[in-house]
Structures are given as C-alpha cells and as structure tokens.
C-alpha cells in the first residue's frame, strides 16, 4: 500500500531538521520520540531515499534530504499562504467586486463610497464601470457585474433581476451668476426660458426630466445645447454663462466655488431615483456583501448632504 503524504508529516520533518534531533523535535511537539521516528520513516518510504545520516550526536541531511527539505519548506509556506488568503477572502479583506453604473451616478455617487471601502480593504479588487442603462441591466442579468447602481426610468426588468431603491434625489435649476444674479426671483416659466444645457433625448436622465415636466404641466426648457455627460454640461454652462437642470451631487463643486448657484423655484418639483440592481440568485462573497452594505448606507446620505448644500 502506498504511503500517504500529509502536511503534518512535512511539518515534523522540517522541525527535526531545525532541531537536528528527533528527541528535541518530539519534546517540542509534546509527543513520544517513536511517533516522530515513524513520521520520518514514512516520508523516507514516500521519497524512496534516506533523509538523514548521523554525524556524532547530530542528525544531518543527506543530499536527498536537502532537496526534500527545500521542497517541503516551499509546500508548507504555500499552504500557510493559502490559509491566510482564504481566511482574508472569507473575511472580506480580499476578493473581487464589479459594480456597473450609469454615467452621472457612476461618476459622482458610487466612486466615493467604494473608494472608502477600498481604503479599508486595500487588498480587495474593486471595479466601477459606467455604461448606458440597458447595458447595465444586461451586465447584471448576465453576471458580467455583481451589482449595479444607477438612476432609474421605470423600464421593465428581467425576471432574474431585483431592484432596490436607495434614494430619491431632487433636481434643481443651476445657473451661472452672469446669467441670473443670486437671490433673483424667477417663475418656473422664466427659468425654463433661460438658455439651458441638456442631455440627448434618448438619455434616461433627460427622458425622466421631460416626462416629469409634462406630467406637471410645466413649460418645456429652452435647451441651447445637448451633451452626453454632466461634466460636459457643467463646463458648457459655466463657460458660456448658461444653466442646467441637475441633481445637486453633480454640481456641488461648482456651487461651492461660486461658478453656479441654484434658483429658488418652489413650484418646480423634479427628482430622480437611484436604485441598486442585482440578480436574486446571486451568491455573495463577504467583500460583495460589504460593498452592498456600504452603498445602502452611504448613497442616501451622500445625495442628501449634497442637496442640502445646493440651494
């Protein structure tokens, strides 16, 4: 019957090498000397050569023993590394999480939340990718990503995908000081007649915005330019002395430094929903669970804090 090899046998062998003595190795292991000798004989039978030779009162390695010791040390080191890595994976310290998002949410809302998670778990592999909502939904359904966070437009979802609402975010009209002085009183109609930068008509944000305005019987905004990303929209508004309709989280920097300010329009009630999508049969790793928990906890606070400071 072939002798089996075990990590324990390699550990005993390496300890005998370190102690240069079966007796001292047995004392360190708190076992009888014959038990250590039996482990060595079994290893020699597995290798097919003697591991030690005696020089006086000391055991020294044979050439076969030296090669076996180098190999055994590497195996034990690798086993210890695997135990550490698996332990870290189980504790959420390592692992991988991929989050898809829509453009604005994936630019301003999700990255700060997952950056904090990354600082807490520096060995974790965390990815945020932005795309169009239909591609985001497909990525969740296909398993290309673990979860998604995006602004929502009430589109039908595949049966395998669940939706969880994270926050409802108010939208406001933000203008440059050159266009409208701070504190100026405008009606909704006057605000909608200002030169505004919008998004293309097929973008979820724009569809949601125009749908809410129609439902509230509000005038159609005067869009002088349509651009595909909030960064481009803001730059156009600031550079040209225009305005835009946006969630406050997207313009908080420009509001803070005075390049944009929010118009006071009590009769205008616009908002967007930020949602989390995931497969309902998804098996979550500890890191992925931590990412979901962070997004649930921090996204509502992040968008609320921004909106409070945007007026």
Q: What is the tens place of the pLDDT at every residue in 147-191?
A: 999 999 888 899 999 999 999 999 999 999 999 999 999 999 999
Q: How far apart are CA 56 and CA 288, in angstroms?
A: 59
Mean pLDDT of 237-255: 96
Q: How far apart are CA 204 and CA 275, in angstroms?
A: 13
Q: pLDDT averaged over the chain?
A: 89
Question: pTM of the full predicted structure?
Answer: 0.71
Confidence at residue 252, expressed as pLDDT on a 0 to 100 scale: 94
Q: Which residue has the higher pLDDT, 245 or 57?
A: 245
Q: How far apart are CA 96 and CA 234, in angstroms?
A: 34
Quote the Cα angle for 304-111-108, to 5°: 50
Tell me: the pLDDT tens digits for 57-79?
788 899 999 999 999 988 887 77
Confidence at residue 301, expressed as pLDDT on a 0 to 100 scale: 87
Sorted by where each begins, the domain ranges of the chain are 7-90, 96-308
Q: How far apart are CA 252 and CA 256, in angstroms?
A: 6
Contacts (Cβ under 8 Å, ≥6 apart) of 144: 98, 100, 138
CATH number assigned to the domain covering 96-308: 3.40.190.290
Q: Which residue has the higher pLDDT, 144 or 83?
A: 144
Mean pLDDT of 6-17: 90
Q: What kind of fold does domain 7-90 have according to CATH?
A: Arc Repressor Mutant, subunit A (1.10.10)
Q: Is the pLDDT of residue 248 over 90?
A: yes
């Amino acid at each position: 019957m072939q002798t089996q090899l075990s990590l324990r046998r390699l550990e005993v062998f390496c300890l005998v090498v370190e102690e240069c003595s079966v007796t001292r190795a047995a004392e360190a292991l708190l076992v009888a000397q014959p038990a250590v000798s039996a482990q060595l004989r079994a290893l020699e039978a597995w290798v097919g050569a003697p591991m030690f030779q005696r020089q006086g009162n000391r055991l020294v390695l044979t050439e076969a023993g030296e090669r076996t010791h180098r190999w055994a040390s590497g195996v034990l080191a690798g086993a210890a590394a695997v135990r550490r890595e698996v332990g870290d994976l189980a504790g959420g310290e390592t692992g991988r999480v991929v989050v898809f998002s829509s453009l604005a949410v994936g630019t301003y809302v999700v990255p700060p939340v997952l950056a904090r998670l990354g600082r807490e778990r520096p060995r974790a592999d965390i990815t945020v990718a932005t795309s169009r909502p239909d591609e985001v939904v497909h990525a969740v359904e296909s398993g290309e990503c673990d979860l998604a966070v995006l602004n929502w437009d009430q589109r039908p979802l595949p049966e395998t995908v669940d939706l969880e609402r994270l926050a409802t975010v108010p939208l406001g009209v933000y203008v440059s000081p050159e266009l409208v002085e701070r504190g100026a009183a405008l009606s909704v109609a006057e605000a909608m007649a200002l030169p505004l930068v919008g998004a293309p008509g097929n973008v979820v944000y724009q569809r949601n915005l125009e749908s809410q305005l129609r439902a509230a019987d509000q005038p159609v905004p005067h869009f002088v330019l349509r651009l595909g990303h909030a960064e481009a929209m803001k730059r156009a508004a600031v550079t040209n002395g225009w305005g835009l309709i946006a969630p406050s989280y997207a313009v908080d920097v420009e509001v803070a430094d005075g390049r944009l300010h929010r118009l006071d329009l009590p009769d205008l009630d616009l908002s967007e929903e930020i949602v989390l999508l995931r497969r309902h049969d998804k098996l979550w790793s500890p890191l992925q669970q931590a990412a979901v928990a962070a997004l649930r906890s921090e996204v509502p606070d992040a968008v609320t804090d921004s909106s409070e400071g945007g007026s």
